[in-house]
Amino acid sequence: MRPPPDDRLDHDLMRAVGRRDRGAFERLVERHYGWALGFADRMLGARHDAEDLVQTAFLRVWQGAARWEPDARFSTWLYRVLYNLCID
Q: What is the pLDDT of residues 1-52, one digit of tens each?
A: 566 667 889 999 999 999 999 999 999 999 999 999 999 999 999 999 999 9
Q: What is the mean pLDDT of the chain?
A: 91
pLDDT given at position 67: 87
Q: CB atoms < 10 A from the CB of 16, how many? A: 17
Question: Domains in the chain, start-ordered, CATH in brackets?
Answer: 7-87 (1.10.1740.10)
Alpha carbons 54 and 46: distance in angstroms, whole number: 12
pTM reported for the whole predicted model: 0.87
Q: Name residue 9's amino acid.
A: L
**How far is the C-alpha of 71 from the C-alpha of 85, rounded, in Å?**
22
Are the C-beta atoms of 70 and 18 separated by less than 8 Å? no
pLDDT, tens only, 78-87: 999 999 999 9
